[in-house]
Chains A and B, each alone.
Chain A
């Protein structure tokens, strides 16, 4: 289970995340949705221990990401938006490296890698250097230690239709195993099709939260897309205003 309470994070003068709270339960897919710059990635990075919040807590199965990073890291599988590979390692070696860093015993690890290679249908490429790992495959690689909580940052970003579908199928399977999935996206249809609960973010805050049906009821708009577009527009207005004021200040000076 993932729980976020009153999270706040600033970069110099910019408030990236402000008073963000939500819960992602086991056996559910929770979607984090919002326009670019809404604070989705920052929230996820705090959860997966790469950033520390200024205040508030991020808990994974009750462990504080800032205070017990190793406990949290053992319990999560992450697919960051930006995930580079080692061009000189094979697919198998990638999995082995991460598996060993997760402390999986070598014999057990090799068995899991073999199973993974079979499930992925990668028998022919598993021992080639890793140029051209697909994102769907990368996701499965990231889950080799069978984490209970899965965090995905824009997992279908830049994928073709077939690959996106493969990722979505996998997300459902993970949920059906009773695990907890939190994923961010700005693609409305995807969130609608996949999520049990949705957290809508805008300018660093949670602006709405609930099941897809609840959200529709709350806003009076049947279409989630509308909620999203409204937020995005507000965001753009705010930015314009800020830019205008900065310009004015410069002119006055």
Chain B
């Protein structure tokens, strides 16, 4: 097809760069492993943190107590609620809790029974380790049981004294959680966009560096530039080769997300929404314009910097920049506006989030975001071609 327009040399350059760099086995394999890091990390987060933060069932809850013989009423109450009570005779409770043997231990003092009988207030201790994230749910449940027991006893005592129990309880608090059922997994799902965009910016970056700054440093750029083809065609050939590698890396990441999400679903710890193959195909398409943009920026940086090392430094920082809005969005979900669709990487972060959460992305937004990013890419490519035309391009300064 390129022949018809006299552009076949672009294809020749791209094919050579692909062949050359595919032979660099180590870099190729590494570039296909990097994209898997995001999905694996996200999968682990869902698996472990998700499991920790999801509340265990009451029937599975065990209250560990020392001195339960002092408080038969409490034990009965807990069992009535469906949880279980276990007596511990450990000497060093603090150590046991710190080591995670028990998430929390309730300690009834020796004078508890007496105080209870006399209707006196008595302090009981709850031994916890607040630095253990995995204990949060168990602690909460134990505290809740103690509070409920407290309330029930107080009410029955007030009733005995002929008082309305409400007198001692001016307010009752009930929190209403309006987050969708995917609240926790939703946070993880929101991270997918920024992760993917990070992949976009590192997927083919070493190729962009190697084919421009690397070629200059090896001294093969000068003879290459003497060949009879316009420099913009040479630049575009290298651009397309880098773009192909970027696309491959992003594709690897997207496939890995699908595999891991489905795998989590099979394990039963899955997310409440499981995006379909079609959703992931759409997500990949959404990243294509950013891939084009990312490689264009990489070509410019690799052309204007003075050395291979300098290029690496700048391009190493580059992936962090577009991830910033996405990272902010993870914690502060902003209302998507038409304007945000025009911002490359930002619009796509929103769109990927919408697709992955199963909300679907409006066609208008898809076109607007893709169109705007591609338009900016074209400007950048013109710029890259101009930089390629400078005579300094051939020489390490």
Interface residue ranges, A against B (CB under 8 Å): 48-52, 69-71, 73-74, 76, 78, 80, 82-86, 88-89, 93, 97-98, 100-103, 142
Q: A100, B220: Cβ atoms under 8 Å? A: no
Contact of B391 among A52, A80, A103 (CB under 8 A): A52
Q: B223, A83: Cβ atoms under 8 Å? A: yes
| Known pairs A50-B225, A50-B391; A70 contacts B20 (CB<8 A) | no
Interface residue ranges, B against A (CB under 8 Å): 9, 12-13, 16, 19-21, 23-24, 215, 218-223, 225-230, 391, 394
Q: A73, B391: Cβ atoms under 8 Å? A: no
CA distance A51 to B395 in the complex (A): 11
CA distance A85 to B16 in the complex (A): 13
CA distance A103 to B21 in the complex (A): 23
Q: What are the residues of chain A within 8 A of B23 when measuring CB–CB?
A: 88
| Known pairs A50-B226, A73-B228, A89-B20; A101 contacts B12 (CB<8 A) | yes
Q: B226, A83: Cβ atoms under 8 Å? A: no
Q: Name 18 extra pairs, CB < 8 A, besides A50-B226, A78-B223.
A: A49-B226, A50-B222, A51-B391, A70-B230, A73-B228, A73-B229, A80-B226, A83-B222, A84-B221, A85-B218, A86-B20, A86-B220, A88-B21, A97-B12, A97-B16, A98-B227, A102-B228, A103-B9
Q: A83, B220: Cβ atoms under 8 Å? A: yes
Q: B222, A82: Cβ atoms under 8 Å? A: yes
Q: What are the residues of chain A within 8 A of B228 when measuring CB–CB?
A: 69-71, 73-74, 101-103
Contact of B226 among A52, A76, A82, A88 (CB under 8 A): A76
CA distance A67 to B228 in the complex (A): 13
Q: B218, A84: Cβ atoms under 8 Å? A: yes
CA distance A48 to B19 in the complex (A): 28
Q: What are the residues of chain A within 8 A of B222 when measuring CB–CB?
A: 50, 80, 82-83
CA distance A202 to B21 in the complex (A): 43
CB distance from A2 to the nearest CB of B (A): 15
CA distance A69 to B227 in the complex (A): 9
Q: What are the residues of chain A within 8 A of B16 when measuring CB–CB?
A: 89, 93, 97
Q: What are the residues of chain A within 8 A of B215 when measuring CB–CB?
A: 84
Among the interface residues B16, B226, B391, which one has the most CB atoms of the partner chain A within 10 A? Answer: B226
Q: What are the residues of chain A within 8 A of B24 when measuring CB–CB?
A: 88
CA distance A219 to B226 in the complex (A): 37
Q: What are the residues of chain B within 8 A of A74 when measuring CB–CB?
A: 228
CA distance A86 to B225 in the complex (A): 15
* A-B CB proximity, top 8 nearest: A84-B219, A84-B220, A73-B228, A84-B218, A101-B227, A88-B23, A82-B219, A74-B228
CA distance A103 to B233 in the complex (A): 14
Among the interface residues A48, A73, A100, which one has the most CB atoms of the partner chain B within 10 A? Answer: A100
| Known pairs A48-B226, A88-B24; A83 contacts B391 (CB<8 A) | no
Q: A100, B12: Cβ atoms under 8 Å? A: yes
CA distance A84 to B220 in the complex (A): 4
By beta carbon, the residue of chain A nearest B228 is A73
CB distance from A58 to the nearest CB of B (A): 14
By beta carbon, the residue of chain A nearest B16 is A97
Q: What are the residues of chain B within 8 A of A49 when measuring CB–CB?
A: 225-226
A-B contact pairs, 7 of them (CB 8 A): A82-B219, A83-B223, A88-B20, A89-B16, A100-B9, A101-B9, A142-B223
CA distance A193 to B19 in the complex (A): 43
| Known pairs A84-B218, A88-B23; A73 contacts B227 (CB<8 A) | yes
By beta carbon, the residue of chain A nearest B233 is A101
CA distance A78 to B225 in the complex (A): 11
CB distance from A209 to the nearest CB of B (A): 26
Among the interface residues A48, A49, A70, A82, which one has the most CB atoms of the partner chain B within 10 A? Answer: A82
CA distance A89 to B22 in the complex (A): 11
CB distance from A249 to the nearest CB of B (A): 25
CA distance A103 to B9 in the complex (A): 8
CB distance from B106 to the nearest CB of A (A): 68
CA distance A122 to B112 in the complex (A): 98
CA distance A50 to B224 in the complex (A): 10
CB distance from A130 to the nearest CB of B (A): 10
Q: A50, B394: Cβ atoms under 8 Å? A: yes
Q: What are the residues of chain A within 8 A of B9 when measuring CB–CB?
A: 100-101, 103
CB distance from A112 to the nearest CB of B (A): 16
CA distance A70 to B225 in the complex (A): 10
CB distance from A190 to the nearest CB of B (A): 22
Q: What are the residues of chain A within 8 A of B394 when measuring CB–CB?
A: 50
CA distance A139 to B394 in the complex (A): 20
CB distance from A56 to the nearest CB of B (A): 16
CA distance A93 to B228 in the complex (A): 18
By beta carbon, the residue of chain B nearest A73 is B228
Q: What are the residues of chain B within 8 A of A83 when measuring CB–CB?
A: 219-220, 222-223
CB distance from A174 to the nearest CB of B (A): 17
Q: What are the residues of chain B within 8 A of A85 when measuring CB–CB?
A: 218, 220
By beta carbon, the residue of chain B nearest A87 is B218
CB distance from B375 to the nearest CB of A (A): 30
CA distance A48 to B219 in the complex (A): 16
CA distance A84 to B216 in the complex (A): 9
